[in-house]
Amino acid sequence: MTDPQQAHIPLRVCFVCTGNICRSPMGEVVLSARLAEAGLADLIVVDSAGTGSWHVGKDMDPRARATLVAHGYDPAAHVAKQFGAEDFATRDVVLALDSGHLSRLRELAGTADDPDAAAASIELLRSHDAVAVAAGDLDVPDPYYDELPAFEQALREVESACARLPDVLRERLESRVPL
């Protein structure tokens, strides 16, 4: 087994939602905090993107930012971007926030340089939440057209799914062959 401290290339994780202004930046902020707590921040790079281009270049939704801050997170500046097929080449794990994103990412994977590797990198975020899996509820609903309580609910679901991710990602790092 490889020591994760010996890994030369960080593991790269990307959260993907619709416009990259609500759910996926929340995922990026929450997982980054969990990785820092686990001592993995230097070994795993986290970012986020959207399936659409509507909000490219914009900051995260102010309600998402306020929800994160209210729960003790310190979200950095955010610039929304769109996920494209070429992004699979620079991401090891692509976490879809709902089944619609999962479908769109699978379509994009088919046009990537390495379609098999791209498809293998895609997962639903809440597949890492045992309670969500048991309930058969793997989507994080989009809070964008709703009020602050929907952002609170989205954050709870993201936090629950991210609770185990540092351990899962550490195992993936350890299974890598060093350069």
Unique residue bearing structure tokens 């759910």: 23
pLDDT in tens, the chain (179 residues): 444 444 468 999 999 999 999 999 999 999 999 999 999 999 999 999 999 999 999 999 999 999 999 999 999 999 999 999 999 999 999 999 999 999 999 999 999 999 999 999 999 999 999 999 999 999 999 999 999 999 999 999 999 999 999 999 999 998 875 54
Is 23 marked active-site? yes
Amino acid at 171: E
Strand partners, 12: 45
Residues recorded for the chain = 179
Catalytic hit among 61, 92, 129, 142: 142
Residues forming beta bridges with residue 93, ordered by sequence position: 13
- Integer Rg of the chain from CA: 15
Q: Tell me which of 23, 104, 126, 170 is the catalytic residue.
A: 23
Question: What is the pLDDT, as a whole number, of residue 9?
Answer: 80
For the chain, list the domains and their CATH numbers: 10-170 (3.40.50.2300)
Told to judge if 126 belongs to the known catalytic residues of this protein, a careful annotator would answer: no
- The whole-model pTM stands at 0.93
Known active-site residue 114: no
Active-site residue among 17, 34, 129, 162? 17
Amino acid (1-letter code) at residue 16: V
The answer for 50, left when phi > 0, alpha when psi is -120 to 50, beta otherwise, is beta
If 0-12 CB within 10 Å is exposed, 13-18 middle and 19+ buried, where does residue 28 land? buried
Element (H, E) at 150: helix 148-162
